[in-house]
């Protein structure tokens, strides 16, 4: 990390504060993109800076700075202190350093081969081969293949003794084909944009698997050109794990973030229908619904050992047997509400203060096999890969669209359907969860683009789920 030493920097700070913390982040994001057989991007962007946080008069003040010298950090601490002191006259809550517990430890993503295993040229060649598989016919009017690599290093030290280092290696991939025939256009991707995002190493890049997936994407895009519209009506739907990703994220994840419940987000993404009194009481979904917050899962997209306030990450049930148990709230929200939460006080980078975020939020597997689920349906629609998402500011009324559907008739898949969409309201929807797939149907996905907060922050999250069956859902097709 150049010549900047965070421990030396914090020991050199001379201000009269109740608590001081430094969080240094250096993160590089590399894109390799082939679009329509030509290189579209070979970029690497690195951001590096320090967030200086100071607690004074019960109020935190911060200064995110790109200037990495001891004198600049001292000045940043002085200005953060001044901000805290001025603001303390109108503090929402009077905090103590209890909300910054002492944290010590290291975390490194689990992988065996680093990015240097493949050269830029090798990766471009692999993506070109994938493109050749995507461009199966003249009906494919546009296609792209991409890799995204993130190398992130965070160091956190504090005046009460925290000393944390966390290093992540994240690989995302995507393959997309757009097919066109006359006025009909259909796009298929490999699980939804960037849904294949995991903490893994280059050992997971398997050429045969990539080429097979690319070919499947292309074939299904072409298949959709002649597919019927998704039927309209109240039907059972079976959602694949890559659609459950957004279903969990929007209708459970954001709704159970404690800072939203406490009202911090009301001017931006909104509030939540969930209230503090609902924990331990609200039947959020059917008894088959078990949702866990778990940043400890190897290879999942948003795994870590400590959140950015120093709270140790553990697996916790948010919803068990359908009952809402625990909010997703870090130490600040826990102290404000008097409720137990989780280690989810996270910032998108060095230039933003942490807030309550999802990390890995998963639906635990059930007991039904995929065949048992499909064979139980007289008429319904199976849907894969999200392409459209929208939900209201209380996280009640949602509408999602998928890339690919299959009609289920008399317990069997009969034909593909295009433009599958559904809309519902959160609580009745989850209470209509009738079957949950077993471990064989369970898959991990994620997204780098969860947006929230003021100032805005886009952060990575992970969602794993089995295949699920929901009954009596309003389903419809395209224009």
Q: Does 15 bind another protein (CB under 8 A)?
A: no
Q: Does 94 bind another protein (CB under 8 A)?
A: no
| Helical spans, DSSP H, in 226-295 | 241-248, 258-261
- Contact residues for 479 (Cβ-Cβ < 8 A; gap 6+): none
Nearest distance from C-beta of residue 16 to another protein, angstroms: 17
Looking only at residues 98 through 157 of this chain, which bind another protein when binding is defined by CB under 8 A?
119-121, 124-125, 128, 141-142
Looking only at residues 247 through 266 of this chain, which bind another protein when binding is defined by CB under 8 A?
262-266
Compute the distance between CA of residue 273 and CA of residue 394 in angstroms, rounded to an integer: 5
> Which residue from 420, 200, 399 is spatially nearest to 297, judged by alpha carbons?
200
Site string for another protein, 312-341 (x = CB under 8 A): ------------------------------
| Of the residues 204, 425, 427, 431, which one makes contact with another protein according to CB under 8 A | 425
Nearest distance from C-beta of residue 279 to another protein, angstroms: 19
Nearest distance from C-beta of residue 67 to another protein, angstroms: 5
**For another protein, which stretch binds (CB under 8 A), given 56-64, 292-300, 362-370, 435-443?**
56-64
Nearest distance from C-beta of residue 251 to another protein, angstroms: 13
Nearest distance from C-beta of residue 372 to another protein, angstroms: 31
Q: Does 240 bind another protein (CB under 8 A)?
A: no
Nearest distance from C-beta of residue 181 to another protein, angstroms: 10
Q: Does 271 bind another protein (CB under 8 A)?
A: yes
| Of the residues 7, 44, 287, 315, which one makes contact with another protein according to CB under 8 A | 44
Report the sign of the C-alpha dihedral through residues 426, 405, 292, 107, in that order. negative
Beta bridge partners of 433: 470
Looking only at residues 167 through 186 of this chain, which bind another protein when binding is defined by CB under 8 A?
178-180, 183, 185
Task: Determine the 3-state secondary structure of 127 from DSSP.
Answer: helix
Cβ atoms within 10 Å of 415's Cβ, excluding its own: 12
Q: Does 42 bind another protein (CB under 8 A)?
A: yes
Q: Considering CB under 8 A, how many residues would be counted as binding another protein?
A: 89
Phi, psi of 214 (to 5 degrees): -60, -40
Kindly tell me the burial class for residue 397, based on how many C-beta atoms sit within 10 Å of its own C-beta (0-12, 13-18, 19 or more).
Answer: middle
Beta bridge partners of 380: 408
Q: Does 57 bind another protein (CB under 8 A)?
A: no
**For another protein, which stretch binds (CB under 8 A), given 15-23, 72-80, 210-218, 462-470?**
72-80
Nearest distance from C-beta of residue 105 to another protein, angstroms: 26
Compute the distance between CA of residue 450 and CA of residue 308 in angstroms, rounded to an integer: 17
The two structure tokens encoding residue 102: 């002492």
Q: Does 392 bind another protein (CB under 8 A)?
A: yes
Q: Does 375 bind another protein (CB under 8 A)?
A: no
Q: Does 423 bind another protein (CB under 8 A)?
A: yes
The two structure tokens encoding residue 165: 């280092």
Q: Does 95 bind another protein (CB under 8 A)?
A: no
> Which residue from 352, 341, 253 is spatially nearest to 302, judged by alpha carbons?
253
| Of the residues 112, 212, 388, 414, which one makes contact with another protein according to CB under 8 A | 388
Closer Cβ to another protein, 64 or 285, answer by number: 64
Compute the distance between CA of residue 213 and CA of residue 134 in angstroms, rounded to an integer: 9
Compute the distance between CA of residue 267 and CA of residue 98 in angstroms, rounded to an integer: 28
Q: Does 421 bind another protein (CB under 8 A)?
A: yes
| Of the residues 6, 13, 154, 391, which one makes contact with another protein according to CB under 8 A | 391
Nearest distance from C-beta of residue 110 to another protein, angstroms: 28
Closer Cβ to another protein, 66 or 412, answer by number: 66
Kindly tell me the burial class for residue 439, based on how many C-beta atoms sit within 10 Å of its own C-beta (0-12, 13-18, 19 or more).
Answer: exposed
Phi, psi of 222 (to 5 degrees): -70, -40
**For another protein, which stretch binds (CB under 8 A), given 43-51, 231-239, 359-367, 369-377?**
43-51
Separation of first and last alpha carbons in the chain: 53
**For another protein, which stretch binds (CB under 8 A), given 86-94, 167-175, 371-379, 437-445?**
86-94
Nearest distance from C-beta of residue 259 to another protein, angstroms: 9
- Contact residues for 138 (Cβ-Cβ < 8 A; gap 6+): none
Q: At what angle do helices 207-225 and 120-134 cross, to 10 degrees?
A: 30
- Contact residues for 159 (Cβ-Cβ < 8 A; gap 6+): 10, 17, 19, 20, 21
| Of the residues 57, 74, 83, 113, which one makes contact with another protein according to CB under 8 A | 83
| Of the residues 67, 110, 117, 226, which one makes contact with another protein according to CB under 8 A | 67
Compute the distance between CA of residue 431 and CA of residue 113 in angstroms, rounded to an integer: 44
Nearest distance from C-beta of residue 298 to another protein, angstroms: 30
Compute the distance between CA of residue 218 and CA of residue 194 in angstroms, rounded to an integer: 17
Q: Does 270 bind another protein (CB under 8 A)?
A: yes
């Amino acid at each position: 990390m150049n010549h900047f030493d965070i421990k030396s920097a914090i020991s050199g700070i001379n201000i009269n504060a109740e608590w001081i913390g430094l969080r240094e982040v250096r993160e590089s994001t590399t894109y390799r993109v082939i679009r329509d057989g030509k290189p579209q991007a070979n970029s690497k962007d690195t951001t590096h800076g320090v967030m200086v946080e100071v607690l004074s008069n019960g109020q935190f003040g911060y200064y995110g700075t790109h200037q990495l010298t001891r004198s600049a950090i001292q000045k940043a601490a002085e200005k953060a202190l001044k901000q805290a002191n001025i603001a303390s006259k109108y503090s929402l809550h009077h905090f103590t350093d209890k909300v910054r517990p002492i944290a010590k430890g290291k975390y490194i993503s689990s992988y065996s081969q680093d990015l240097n295993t493949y050269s830029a040229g090798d990766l471009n060649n692999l993506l070109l081969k994938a493109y050749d598989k995507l461009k199966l016919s003249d009906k494919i009017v546009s296609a792209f293949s991409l890799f995204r690599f993130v190398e992130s290093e965070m160091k956190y030290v504090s005046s009460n003794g925290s000393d944390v280092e966390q290093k992540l290696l994240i690989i995302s991939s995507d393959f997309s084909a757009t097919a066109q025939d006359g006025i009909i256009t259909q796009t298929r991707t490999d699980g939804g944009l960037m849904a294949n995002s995991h903490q893994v190493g280059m050992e997971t890049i398997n050429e045969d698997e990539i080429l097979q997936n690319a070919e499947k994407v292309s074939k299904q895009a072409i298949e959709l050109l002649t597919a019927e519209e998704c039927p309209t009506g109240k039907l059972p739907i079976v959602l694949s794990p890559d659609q459950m990703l957004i279903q969990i994220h929007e209708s459970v994840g954001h709704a159970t973030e404690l800072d939203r419940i406490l009202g911090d987000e009301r001017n931006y993404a909104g509030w939540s229908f969930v209230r503090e009194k609902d924990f331990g009481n609200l039947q959020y979904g059917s008894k088959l619904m078990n949702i866990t917050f778990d940043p400890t899962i190897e290879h999942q997209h948003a795994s870590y050992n400590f959140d950015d306030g120093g709270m140790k990450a553990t697996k916790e049930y948010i919803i068990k047997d359908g009952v809402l148990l625990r909010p997703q709230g870090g130490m600040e929200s826990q102290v404000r509400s008097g409720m137990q939460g989780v280690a989810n006080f996270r910032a998108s980078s060095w230039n933003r203060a942490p807030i309550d975020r999802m990390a890995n939020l998963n639906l635990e597997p059930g007991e039904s096999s995929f065949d048992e689920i499909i064979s139980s349906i007289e008429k319904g629609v199976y849907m894969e890969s999200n392409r459209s998402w929208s939900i209201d500011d209380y996280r009640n009324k949602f509408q999602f669209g998928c890339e690919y559907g299959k009609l289920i008739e008399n317990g069997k898949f009969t034909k593909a359907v295009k433009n599958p969409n559904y809309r519902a309201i959160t609580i009745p929807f989850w209470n209509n969860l009738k079957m949950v797939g077993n471990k064989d149907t369970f898959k991990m996905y994620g997204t780098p683009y969860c947006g929230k907060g003021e100032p805005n922050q886009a952060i990575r999250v992970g969602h794993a789920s089995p295949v699920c069956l929901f009954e009596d859902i309003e389903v419809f097709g395209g224009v």
